[in-house]
Amino acid sequence: MPELPEVEIMTRNVRQWSAGRRLLRGEVVDAALKVDLSALQGAVFGSAHRRGKYLCLPVAASMLVVHFRMTGKAILESTAARPHTRLRLHLDDGTVIAIVDTRRLGRVWMVPSQELSSFFASLPLGPEPWPQPRDGGWWRSQLAGLRGPIKNALMRQDRVAGLGNIAASEICFRARLNPHTPVPKLDASDWDAVATAVPAFVDHVLSVESGPEIAYVNEQRTAPNPFAVYARQGQPCPRCAHGMVTRTVQAGRASFFCAQCQPPR
C-alpha cells in the first residue's frame, strides 16, 4: 500500500486532474465499497489534500475520503479500462479518475461536511511528520512512553500519521539506527537523526516516484527499486558497501537494515 509519500503524489495528481472540474457521474464498480455517489452528480471538486495515508477530495459540500490500504492507487483511466478498477469518477472534461485496488482492501467514505470533524476525530491519527519541520525533541515526545523497537514505533499511526513499513526501515537506515533498538535507548542525537531522516526520505520518494501512476516494488515495473535497503536483502549496503542488507521480521512485518551501519544496541 501507498504510504505518506505515495499518497502525497496521488493527492497532487488527483488535485490537478479534478480541481474546479465537475463530476458527471460517480461509478461504484465494486459494490462492496458500500458508498453512494449519486447525490454528487454535477457537483464541483474542491482541492484535494492528504491526511496521514488518507486522500481527501472535497466534492460540493461533502468529502470523498479514500484509504488505499495495501494495493490501491488513484490513476487516470481515460483511454482503456483497467483490471481491478473499484470506482470511477467521470469528469466533465472527458477524463476518468479511477481507484484500482487488486486486493480490494481499500476503503472509500462519502462524508457530509457537518460530519467531517467527527469522522477524522474517530480515526487514530497523530500529527503529520511532514512537510512542517519537526525536530528531535518533537519526535521524542511523540513516541514517549513506547518501550518497543523504534521501527515499530515509527509505524504507530496514532503517534505520528503516515509512515508505513517501508518508511520505517528506510528512516532507521538513514538515521543509522538498528530497527530493533528499544525506543527508551534513543538519545538526543538519535532523535535528531530521526528528525533529519524523515523529510529526507519523503522528499527522496517524491522526487523519484512522482508521476501519473505510482508503482509498487513487487509489481512489474521499469523503474528500479527506489529504496536504499527495503527489499534489498543480500545486497551490499549502499552506504558503507561492507555490510550486507539483512532482512528480519518485527511484529509480523519485514524489516531491512545494514548489519554494519546499524549495529544492535
Partner DNA sequence: AGGACTGTTCCGCG
Partner DNA sequence: GCGCGGAACAGTCC
Of 135, 138, 142, 124, nearest to 51 by C-alpha is 124
- Residue 155 in the binding site for DNA (CB under 7 A): yes
Cβ-proximal residues to 36 (8 Å cutoff; 6+ apart), any chain: 28, 110
Instruction: Tell me the C-alpha to C-alpha distance, in Å, between residue 36 and each of 26, 42, 60, 101.
Output: 8, 14, 15, 18
- Residue 224 in the binding site for DNA (CB under 7 A): no
d(CA 152, CA 255): 10
Taking the complex as a whole, the smallest distance from the CB of residue 22 to DNA amounts, in Å, to 31
Instruction: Tell me the C-alpha to C-alpha distance, in Å, between residue 186 and each of 58, 72, 142, 183, 245.
Output: 41, 35, 13, 6, 22
Taking the complex as a whole, the smallest distance from the CB of residue 31 to DNA amounts, in Å, to 11
Please choose, out of 74-82, 134-142, 164-172, 237-245, the segment that lies near DNA by the rule CB under 7 A: 164-172
DSSP state of 120: H
- Tell me which of 6, 8, 53, 58 is the catalytic residue: 53
Give me 139's grid cell: 519526535
- Residue 11 in the binding site for DNA (CB under 7 A): no
Taking the complex as a whole, the smallest distance from the CB of residue 2 to DNA amounts, in Å, to 4
- Residue 6 in the binding site for DNA (CB under 7 A): yes
Q: Which is nearer to DNA, 19 or 28 (CB)?
A: 28
Looking at residue 174, its amino acid is R
- Residue 238 in the binding site for DNA (CB under 7 A): no
- Residue 61 in the binding site for DNA (CB under 7 A): no
Q: Which residues bind DNA (CB under 7 A)?
A: 1-3, 6, 32, 52-53, 67, 69-71, 83-84, 102-105, 123-124, 145-149, 152-153, 155, 157, 164-166, 183, 214-218, 220, 231, 250-254
Annotated catalytic sites, by residue?
2-3, 53, 253
